[in-house]
Structure 1
């Protein structure tokens, strides 16, 4: 259900940005709002708190954002408050940002490795992904020592697990389904 809600609002915002030819502006504003909201969890709690009446929440949005961001964003946030979906606001903005990046030919990729990668390794992975996808890759990295060795690469909805832990889990699964005669 949450994914459907997030996609609907993000898609609507994406369509408005496309119609107005303001994709870059909207993406920048969405990024700024998203960062601001992530940095102010008390503000988000206030917007989502059931004891704060809707009119007060709408007033908070108007005071904080009116004149600073596009009216479409103020309207979107007001609609989200009226529909009691404040908890989805950051996810909606993040989804919109990703849609705008993809529209511009950018693609998100995430590499998780057992040890920190060198700049040369990151550049090689990025180059390989760009060659394979035909898009410009925006690469993020994380370290997870539980992988033992190797790495996991996520590009869009595809995952390539080349970690030792992943191989051991696959082997364990195979062995558990093996029937001895």
Structure 2
């Protein structure tokens, strides 16, 4: 249900952003809003709780963000609050970002390794994934000591697990299946 909600609302905001030719600015404003929730968790609680009336929340949002975000995003926030979907704002933001990336032909990829990769290794991975996907690849490298060795590449719903940990777990599973 939450996925359907985030998809529906993000799609509506994206269409407004596209129509008004303000995709980048709306995305930046939305990021600013969500980062405010991360910086001030108590404020986020006020935003998402059903115990505070819509009118009160609207006043609070207007006072805090009225001169910092566009009228389009402000109205969008009001709709979310009016429909009692404040708790879904983070998922809506993630779905909106994904929609923007798809529109721009960008693929965000994480690469997990035990040791840091060199610039040439990162560049080679980026080039190969760009050729495979036909998209501009934005790579994030993460150090994960639990992998033992190898790497794990995550792109959207796809995971390429070439870690030693994964291979060892597969071997262990195979050994436990042997009937003696």
TM surpasses 0.5: yes
After superposition, what is the alpha-carbon deviation per residue over 1:57-77, rounded to whole angstroms, capped at 9, x for unaligned? Answer: 111111122232222211221
- In structure 2, the partner of 1:142 is 142
Alpha carbons 2:50, 2:84 under 8 Å: kept? no
Secondary structure at the residue paired with 1:160? strand
- In structure 2, the partner of 1:164 is 164
Secondary structure at the residue paired with 1:153? strand
State yes or no: 1:23 paired with 2:23: yes
What stretches of structure 2 of length at least 5 have no aligned partner? none
Shift of 1:175: 3.1
Residue correspondences, number: 180
State yes or no: 1:44 paired with 2:49: no
User: Which of structure 1's runs of 4+ aligned residues deviate more than 6 A?
Assistant: none
Shift of 1:164: 0.5
Shift of 1:50: 4.1
Q: State how far apart, in whole Å, the 1-side matches of 2:138 and 2:33 are.
A: 21
Q: State how far apart, in whole Å, the 2-side matches of 1:85 and 1:175 are.
A: 49
State yes or no: 1:14 paired with 2:46: no
Q: State how far apart, in whole Å, the 2-side matches of 1:171 and 1:11 are.
A: 44
Across the aligned residues of Structure 1 and Structure 2, the Cα RMSD in angstroms comes to: 1.8
What stretches of structure 1 of length at least 5 have no aligned partner? none
Deviates more, 1:41-50 or 1:129-138: 41-50
- In structure 2, the partner of 1:122 is 122
Secondary structure at the residue paired with 1:112? strand
Q: State how far apart, in whole Å, the 2-side matches of 1:41 and 1:119 are.
A: 37
Shift of 1:13: 0.8
- In structure 1, the partner of 2:76 is 76
